[in-house]
Structure 1
Amino acid sequence: MKKIFIFIYTFFILFSYGQGNDKILKVTYTHHVLLSKKGDFDTVLYADDTHSQFVFDQKPKSFKTDEGYDMTFPSVYYISDYNFQTQYIHDNRLLNGVMLSSQWKNDLVWQITDEEKEIAGYKVRKATTDSYGDKGFEFYKRKAIAWFTTDIPIPTGPERYYGLPGLIVELYYERTREGYSLKKVEQVSKEDYTFVPLTDENAIGKDEMIYNYLRSKEVKAILKAAKKKKK
């Protein structure tokens, strides 16, 4: 029965977003930042029948919250590539002008609930998993809560949250209001977006790539070596 399901699922993917199609899927999310809507910005996910590529491009921004607090967001740029068949994640992160890389197999364990509702015209179902990060860290976000739709049966979503049997339409963290909400789903020509070929250089671990890059001795050593090389 499981093999039949996998065959039907694979056939549907190939039929909908097959290699013979000159279109790819473009999913735009609004990224909701901590504390103020003034810092929100759009992120984009691209997908074909074999993989997806999530592009996170946060521009530096300073603003004053409604409560009168000054907030500054630094530049943050990374690309996360997910292979649907191998379930491997390949990330590149730009930090201080140096491109870092990391690869790992998706190890998220999802708990899919019976809770359903409608978001942006899609029938969605709720799933939860432990968020990425150090559970002992003061700012650990606890559970990641996702609403996914099998109307678009590709196992991908924003910010490295992959592996559900449908596109993630909304994702947020149990502890904060940070997260993503669907803004638009469209099909665009393959000529409109070329999947970025990611590098394997300056390899670091998964934890260093996702949340520990500012505190990692390994990352600091790479940045120091790159700076020395430029001189």
Structure 2
Amino acid sequence: MNLKIIISIFLIVIIHTVSYSQINDTIDYKITYELEFKELKNSELKQKEKMFLFISKNHSKFISEGKYKIDSLMASENVKQLSFSEFMRNIPKTKFDFFVINVLGSNKILFHQKILKDKFFYEESINHNWTNHKNTKQILGYNCKKATVSYQGRNYTAWYSNDIPVSTGPYKFYGLPGLIFEIYDSKKEYHFLIKGIESLSNEHILNFNPKNYIQVSKKDYEQTKEKLNENPIKMLEQSGISLDFSNELQKKSLIDSHKEKMKNNNPIELKDDGEKQM
């Protein structure tokens, strides 16, 4: 069993139902995007994942389909009736196990992710310095305008539509006078493209309770992620998880293999204050 599988199983097993209360908005729209991305720097292989953007009057929430299904499964009463093997078969795969909430009408976002036993969130204010262009094109029958911006080491081109006057979009992108339909970096290593717009009924709620999370600074969050990437086995053991290795050589080989993969990791955010993010 490789280290990635060990960590994935551990992360899944310790997830528990979260009860939200502070943000409790009725969702008006569900936007579906397809994200095509290049996970590794030393490979030309690209992968695809379906992503959702839920929009309410005051907030938007960006989340991968896999993460959304995991959260829905864990919140269901049916999960208690599943055996471990059934549970594992029902867990969808995702490369993006976080979600982002944008406070509409502001520059404030809340980024949330679970690292081992702890659920973290940090607040971030991003002032995207968009440059508008005269170019236009149609996407899904909507008239879209072009804008460009630089963010965390990448140069992006976005296409947005005033026909849906909600200043938000996928991931941490917002600040244009309309919904972002498409956005991609200059190398197209991360390419978000809208695939569907759906109006939802009143029973769908966008909710979040910060009391269920540990609030940290973005810097502290990144340092925790870096420690996990450097030596995940050590962090697992510090969390009380004992891993069985036949010998120290096997353990070292697993750590070295993981470190090598992390060196080739190609994150969407390349730098923060001049430093590369993991």
- 1:91 — aligned with what? 111
Deviations 1:136-191 (A, max 9, x none): xxxxxx20211100110000000110111100000111123321101100101131
Contact 2:99 2:112 in 1 (8 A): yes
**Pair 1:205-2:217 in alignment:** yes
Identity of aligned residues (%): 23
Q: Does 1:31 align with 2:35?
A: yes
CA–CA separation in structure 1 for the residues paired with 2:134 and 2:223: 34
Residue equivalent to 2:145: 125
How far 1:23 moved relative to its partner?
5.9
Q: Distance in 1 between matches of 2:109 and 2:35?
A: 21
User: Does the C-alpha gap of structure 1 residues 103 and 173 become closer, same or farther in structure 2, counting only changes over 3 Å?
Assistant: same
1:121-200 maps to which residues of 2 (within 5 A)?
121-132=141-152, 135=153, 142-191=154-203, 193-199=204-210
CA RMSD of aligned residues (A): 3.3
CA gap 1:206/1:122 in 2 versus in 1, 3 angstroms: farther
Distance 1:178 1:74 in 2: 15
TM-fit CA distance, 1:108: 1.4
CA distance in 1, matches of 2:178, 2:223: 29
The correspondence for 1:51, drawn from 48, 51, 59, is 59
Q: Which residue of 1 aligns with 2:121?
A: 101
CA contact (8 A) 1:57 1:77 kept: no
| CA spacing shift, 1:190–1:91, aligned 2, 3 Å | farther
* Contact in 2 for aligned 1:29/1:184 (Cα 8 Å): yes
| Aligned CA distance change for structure 1 residues 47 and 227 (closer, same or farther; 3 Å) | farther
How many pairs are equivalent?
185
Higher strand share: 1
Which deviations, in whole Å up to 9, do the C-alpha atoms of 1:81-125 show, x marking residues without a partner?
111133311111122343111002232111111111111111111
TM-score, normalization by structure 2? 0.57
- Structure 1 residues 112 and 199 mapped into 2: Cα distance closer, same or farther (>3 Å)? same
1:111/1:127 contact within 8 Å kept = yes
Q: Considering Cα pairs closer than 8 Å and 6+ residues apart, tell me whether 1 or 2 has the greater RCO.
A: 2
**In the TM superposition, what is the alpha-carbon distance from 1:213 to its structure 2 partner?**
6.0
* C-alpha distance in structure 2 between counterparts of 1:122 and 1:58, whole Å: 28
Q: Identify unmatched segments of 5+ residues in structure 2.
A: 1-25, 39-43, 68-92, 243-278
What SS is found at the alignment partner of 2:149? strand
Q: How far apart are 1:28 and its partner, in Å?
A: 0.3
Name which of 40, 43, 57 aligns with 2:48. 40
1:215 aligns with 2:235: no
Q: Which runs of 5+ in 1 are unaligned?
A: 1-21, 60-72, 136-141
Per the normalisation by structure 1, the TM-score is 0.67
Please tell me the residue identity of whatever aligns with 2:158.
A
**Alignment check: 8 A CA contact 2:165 2:177 kept:** yes
Partners of 1:126 and 1:208 in 2: how far apart? 35
Of 88-97 and 26-35, deviating more is 88-97
Structure label with greater radius of gyration:
2
